[in-house]
Amino acid sequence: MVANNDEIRAIFKSLDISINNITKVKTLANFLVRVETNQGNYFLKIYTNKIEAKTGYKLAHLYPILLENNIPVPKVIKYDDGLKIIKHPYLIMTEIEGQMLCDLIDAMNRDDKNYFYYDFGKLIAKFHLITFDKFGETFDGKTIEGCIEANNKGPFNNWKDMHEEIIRYRLNIFKKSDFEDLIEPIFSWFEKNSNLIDYDVVPRLLHIDLNQKNVFVKNNKISGIIDFDASFVGHNEEELMRTEGANFSNDEELKQSFFKGYTEIIELDSGYEQRRKYYYFSRLLVHTGCIIQYGESYVNVEKEGEIVRKEIIKLLNDKEIDYNKNKRNT
């Protein structure tokens, strides 16, 4: 147990907040509890190592900036790495009202879905408007540093160099797995096609995991976005393809609604359609890495592993991809 209930109560007592109930939340990483209090509901994240604690520091600085830009994210109540009450750094955030998109989307009628994804596109564009002068990761919301998913290298002056390191990082997870034989051909494919991203890309803030569990909805409107833990500064198309795969890759009408909203704020770079396969493949590496890392707690490993391998082989052989039949969760 990272922290017992008495320690959790002591944390909130230091803020003059009385606890009514504490519920442990099951997650793939971090220690997380939902805390019901006399002043509302909160989430308490406790970080047990330096890398996780740096993520907490990042969220504590990034969420206020997002709120200033009218992005509905949790409000940070406190980040504490003083280790006085408990022996680990912790972050307290407000609870977002509403339900996860994955629990509501199927109940929406057609018009509601189209309006929702139109608004969703506009909202994503709003935080993509937050730009920087280099590519990498920001932990204070201002300066750019090396990026964890780029092997802690950076900052980078151009996106092509950063994305190459990202591919190396994602393929490193393939080592000593059933996908190890695919490492060299996949890397060669990305090297051969790197000319697709060899241009002046704008460094934009990306969430990078906008799956339906990270988007909250109330009255068919977006009430909040959570889990900016892995966010970095990169090419918005990396985000757009992953968002498409996690939300509406099997529905052309919803895709059009989404991009209508998005492009009212940010125009797509010239050649976007030519880069779809490139970023689809990049995103597929993330999904494959999750299969390797999280196993049966993520998907049916045998079944999904076979599907993914066939899809990778098609990409390596430059076969046509039917995006509409390949909805992913990441």
pLDDT reading at 83 higher than 70: yes
For residues 243-261, average pLDDT: 91
Whether 287 and 279 have beta carbons less than 8 Å apart is answered as no
For residues 174-198, average pLDDT: 98
Question: Bridge-partner residues for 222, per DSSP?
Answer: 217
pLDDT reading at 248 higher than 90: no
Q: Which H/E stretch holds residue 33?
A: strand 31-37
CA pair distance 185, 178, nearest whole angstrom: 15
pLDDT reading at 302 higher than 50: yes
pLDDT reading at 323 higher than 90: no
For residues 159-164, average pLDDT: 98
Task: Please state, as a whole number, how many other Cβ atoms lie within 10 Å of the Cβ of residue 175.
Answer: 10
User: Residue 106 has what pLDDT?
Assistant: 92
User: Residue 329 has what pLDDT?
Assistant: 44
Sequence length of the chain is 330
CA pair distance 88, 50, nearest whole angstrom: 9
**Rounded to a whole number, what is the distance in angstroms from the first to the last CA of the chain?**
29
User: Residue 11 has what pLDDT?
Assistant: 97
CB-based burial, 131-161: b 16+ in 10 Å, e otherwise: ebebbbbbbebeebbebbbbeebbbbeebbb
Sheet holding 40-46, edge to edge: 19-25, 31-37, 40-46, 90-94, 76-80
CA pair distance 56, 229, nearest whole angstrom: 8
CA pair distance 143, 66, nearest whole angstrom: 16
Please report, for residues 55, 201, 279, the alpha-carbon distance to residue 232 in angstroms, rounded to integers and kept in the order given.
11, 14, 16
For residues 172-185, average pLDDT: 98
CB-based burial, 72-103: b 16+ in 10 Å, e otherwise: bbbebbebbbeeebbebbbbbbbbbebebbbe
Backbone angles phi, psi at 7, to 5 degrees: -70, -40
Q: 324: pLDDT confidence band, cut at 50, 70 and 90?
A: low
Q: 107: pLDDT confidence band, cut at 50, 70 and 90?
A: very high
The residue assigned the tokens 């892995």 is 230
User: Residue 328 has what pLDDT?
Assistant: 45
For residues 323-328, average pLDDT: 51
Which of 117, 160, 119 has the alpha carbon at shortest distance from 246?
A: 117
Q: Which residue has the higher pLDDT, 80 or 330?
A: 80
Domains of the chain: 5-94 (3.30.200.20), 99-325 (3.90.1200.10)
pLDDT reading at 64 higher than 70: yes
- What percent of the chain is modeled with pLDDT above 90? 89
User: Residue 51 has what pLDDT?
Assistant: 87
Whether 285 and 291 have beta carbons less than 8 Å apart is answered as no
The one-character DSSP state at 87 is S
Which of 202, 243, 214, 225 has the alpha carbon at shortest distance from 66?
A: 225
What is the residue-averaged pLDDT of the chain? 94
pLDDT reading at 326 higher than 70: no
User: Residue 27 has what pLDDT?
Assistant: 81
Q: 249: pLDDT confidence band, cut at 50, 70 and 90?
A: confident
Query: At what angle are helices 252-263 and 110-128 packed, to 10 degrees?
Result: 40
Q: 317: pLDDT confidence band, cut at 50, 70 and 90?
A: very high
Q: 320: pLDDT confidence band, cut at 50, 70 and 90?
A: confident
User: Residue 53 has what pLDDT?
Assistant: 94
Q: Which H/E stretch holds residue 8?
A: helix 5-13
Parallel, antiparallel or unpaired: strands 76-80 and 99-100: unpaired
The residue assigned the tokens 């390596």 is 316
User: Residue 74 has what pLDDT?
Assistant: 98
pLDDT reading at 81 higher than 80: yes
Q: 330: pLDDT confidence band, cut at 50, 70 and 90?
A: very low
